[in-house]
Amino acid sequence: MTKRPKISEHQNNGEGLQGRTLADWLSQTGRQEVNQDFEKAENYAIQIQELGVRLNDPTTTSLAYNLKSDILFARGSYIEAEEHARRALELQQVEHDEKLLVRTYTQIANNCLRQNNFEECLSYYDQVLKIHRKFSNDTGLALVYSNLCLVYKELRKFDESLQNAEKARRIYKKLKHLSGEARVLANRGTIFFDLGMIVKSLRAHLESLRIREKIGDTEGMTQSLGCIGICLNEQGKLSEAIEYIEKALDLSKNLQNNYYTAHFLNDLAGIFEKQQNYEQGLKFSFESLKYARAGGIIDIEIYSLSRIAETYKKMGSLEAAVYHAKKAAKLANHSAGMDWTPKINITLGHIYFEMGRLDLAEKLANEVLHSQVITIRKSEQAACYELLVEVNKARNNWPDAFQFQEKITKLNAEIYASQMDDRLLELKERLELDKAIRDAELTKLKNVKLVKKNQTINRQRKELAHSSEEYRKLAAALTDSNSMKELLLDIITHDLKNPAAAINGLAQIALLDQPGNEVLAAIQHGSTNLLQVLASTTVLTQSILGEEIPKEITVLNEVLVQLKNEMSSELAKQGMQIKLALEPNLVVDANPLIAEVFRNYLSNAMKYASSGKVVQVVGERDGDEVLVKVKDFGTTIPASDRETIFARRVQLSVRVHDGRGLGLAIVKRIADAHHATVWVEPNVPRGNSFCFRMSAAPA
């Protein structure tokens, strides 16, 4: 026996407020001993009751009933536990201390839940919710929502069950209450398990275990490990199931928690019996029985005895089966575990039948069927009728056997119809649940994407602001640069044009006096070319600045013939030819600067075509347009480079000739000023065709 400390050991003055304070301390300490050491917890309850009598304080006395209710609940004596909670409620209603009432209402609700009295259970939880809302007790609200989750699960209202789980989860998340979050995950796991969604159940319990390991919640880890083992057992992964349940068992033994220890031992017994290893199953069942008795946990004690009886029956040890079934029945008949009685008596009846003791088998079946104490389920009725059918068959009493068989058929039809309704409802709930889960996951995914998108937008805004500042600086620098270019252009077009014109005029006058002077002729020719270049530069500048350039009717046939003649000496040096294949009257409305397009094309063809080859110029009318192609036979330009070849300062690496890469860029500028199109394409089988397309001049 555990020595009970005297009240004087805990207080100096047991009167008034100090006495109530002491009662609170004894109550809290006693609650910590529940599930650990029932005897210690009971000693604390006795001391609280004695203190209540001394103080003549109903509220203090009520705390003793609360603690006794906790002890009886942990032992599985739910009817007695509820009775003690109701006694506490009567005493507490004198002062109407709502914080104490919360504990008592919760105790009554929990006991109603264990007795399947769901309506009353919900009624008391509703009272608890009102008080927690009144005091804005978020932790209390979350705990009630978590419990309501289990109530609605038992009612098979899975949608409402998950809604309450979600309410609890949100509060716990807001409070950063990891233990509460883990509890909600575990509850969701049990809901998924009942729905047959084993994979989702397993995931929920694994996540719950991860959180509980993180915060060092050993008791919670014990629960999660056991639930994971049960899920694995359901999946047929027996070795893994045993591994997890054994881990849970080790933790529960370290915690000295008889309830969990007995529970997990029964789980292990069931797995080994599934493998038809009855000896090992019996070993675990007997060990479970030992812990259940040590902890005074009556419902597990009854369950263990019943399992032992069933196992002995399967092994053919009928006397041992009868012995343990009788012990289970006796315990069930004298405890709050009355709902065990029909199942145990049916098991005992089958054992008697196999022993040939037909009268006893018949008696037990009839006792269950005609019980005035407890309402039996239809499945239990059907089991009794099945036993009576077998008894009457053994007696060759076929009329009675047939009569009981008809009752079984009728009951089975009712059970099947009910199961179908339940199954349809369950399927509907499951479909709705799946949809809700998918919607929640989709919403979560959208939220994640939205957060990432907002982060990207904010980053891009910062980058844009930075880029805008850089752009502003560059624009200012470009403005300065353009101003310098315009100044330089003015110098070129004005300060050079006048001297060049003067030189050209003087050279012409001098040639009149000395017609055969080659030096004067060269000066006159060079200055004429310089004036043409300056004129072209002016026109090109106008086009770049977006100004309209002067145009006139131009015959491209004449332009191309003139260019061929100008290049004749260079062609002779390289041993090359330019062959013109032009349709007549290729007339366009253009500035004389248009000749520079073909000058560049021909110059490129002569540079990059193989020595001794022919450069072909093909011109034709194509509807309302003029198309000219200059074809060489050099190295074909790769497709990847054809788009960029007309860009400024682009010179392809395959071309080894000197140049600044400005020629084709100028071609593009001139073409754009004339709304013409220029491009390059392969010249099959080798080389390139530089093309020019422009609207023909109106006839």
- Please give the pLDDT value at position 167: 94
Three-state DSSP class for 52? helix
Residue 186 Cα to chain centre, angstroms = 19
Q: In the prediction, which pLDDT does 639 show?
A: 87
Give percent above pLDDT 90 in the chain.
Answer: 46
pLDDT band of 251, cuts 50, 70, 90: very high
The two beta strands, 614-622 and 677-682, are unpaired
Contact at 8 Å (CB) between 589 and 697?
A: yes
Looking at residues 602-622, what average pLDDT do you find? 83
d(CA 127, CA 132): 9
Preceding peptide of 592 cis, ω within 30°: no
Domain boundaries, the chain: 196-253, 256-396, 501-544, 552-695
For residue 399, what pLDDT band results from cuts at 50, 70 and 90? very high
Specify whether the CB–CB gap between 496 and 503 falls below 8 A: no
Closest CA to 126 of 174, 134, 177: 134
Give the number of other Cβ atoms within 10 Å of residue 462's Cβ.
10
What fold is seen in the domain 256-396? 1.25.40
Architecture of domain 196-253: Alpha Horseshoe (1.25)
Return d(Cα 193, Cα 526) in angstroms, integer: 99
> For residues 236 and 230, what is the distance between their CA atoms, to the nearest angstrom?
10
Contacts of 687 (CB under 8 A, 6+ apart): 609, 631, 632, 633, 634, 635, 636
What confidence score (pLDDT) does residue 82 get? 92
Neighbour count for residue 632 (Cβ, 10 Å): 26
617 bridge partner residues: 580, 630
Q: What is the mean pLDDT of residues 588-602?
A: 91
Check: CB of residue 4 under 8 Å from CB of residue 47. Answer: yes
**H helix runs in 235-317, sequence order:** 238-254, 258-274, 278-295, 298-315
- What's the mean pLDDT in 88-108? 90
Listing DSSP states for 67-89 in one string gives HHHHHHHHHT-HHHHHHHHHHHH
**pLDDT digits over 13-27, tens only?**
334 446 778 888 888
Side chain identity at residue 96, one-letter code: H
Rounded to the nearest 10 degrees, the angle between the axes of helix 378-394 and helix 398-490 is 140
Predicted confidence (pLDDT) at residue 11 exceeds the cutoff of 60: no
Question: Under 8 Å CB-to-CB from 446, ≥6 apart: which residues?
Answer: none
Q: Of the ranges 436-445, 618-627, 656-665, which is most confident?
A: 618-627
The pairing of strands 552-555 and 587-590 is: antiparallel
Q: Give the mean pLDDT of the chain.
A: 84
- Residue 10 — very low, low, confident or very high, per pLDDT cuts 50/70/90? very low
Place of tokens 């479909």: 431
Rounded mean pLDDT, 651-667: 54
For 538, counting Cβ atoms within 10 Å of its Cβ (0-12 exposed, 13-18 middle, 19+ buried), the class is middle
The number of C-alpha atoms within 13 Å of 348 and in the hemisphere containing its C-beta is 26
> What φ, ψ does residue 74 adopt, rounded to 5°?
-65, -30
Cα distance between residue 286 and residue 281, in whole Å: 9
- The amino acid present at 489, given as its one-letter code, is L
Q: Quote the pLDDT of residue 311.
A: 94
Q: What is the pLDDT of residue 653?
A: 40
Fold match flag (196-253 vs 256-396): yes
> Structure tokens of 184?
């909600």
Q: Would the pLDDT of 651 be above 60?
A: no
CB of 150 closer than 8 Å to CB of 190: yes
pLDDT of residue 295: 78
Residue 609 confidence (pLDDT) above 80: no
Superfamily of domain 552-695: Histidine kinase-like ATPase, C-terminal domain (3.30.565.10)
Site of tokens 């330019």: 578
Among the ranges given (19-28, 266-275, 552-561), the one the predictor scored with the smallest mean pLDDT: 19-28
Q: What is the pLDDT of residue 377?
A: 78
Distance of CA 253 to the CA centre of its chain: 37
Q: Distance (Å, rounded) from C-alpha 329 to C-alpha 308?
A: 13
Arithmetic mean of pLDDT, 104-133: 91
DSSP state letters, 183-212 = HHHHHHHHHHHHTT-HHHHHHHHHHHHHHH
First-residue to last-residue Cα distance in the chain: 126
Grade residue 525 by pLDDT with cuts at 50, 70 and 90.
Answer: confident
Specify the range with the lowest mean pLDDT, choosing from 181-185, 203-207, 404-408: 404-408
E-only strand ranges, 488-576: 552-555
Kindly tell me if the per-residue pLDDT of 527 is higher than 50: yes
pLDDT recorded at residue 2: 40
The string of pLDDT tens digits covering residues 29-43 is: 888 888 677 788 899
Selection from 674, 651, 681, 683 nearest residue 595 by Cα: 674
User: What gap in Å lies between CA 185 and CA 173, rounded to an integer?
Assistant: 12
pLDDT at 491: 59
Which percentage of the chain shows pLDDT scores above 70?
A: 84
Task: Give per-residue burial for 541-558: e unless 16+ CB within 10 Å, then b.
Answer: bbbeeeeebebeebebbe
Query: Once rounded to an integer, what is the mean pLDDT over residues 275-283?
Result: 95
DSSP single-letter state for residue 643: T
pLDDT tens per residue across span 436-482: 667 777 777 777 777 787 788 888 778 777 777 776 777 666 666 55
H/E stretch holding 572: helix 568-574
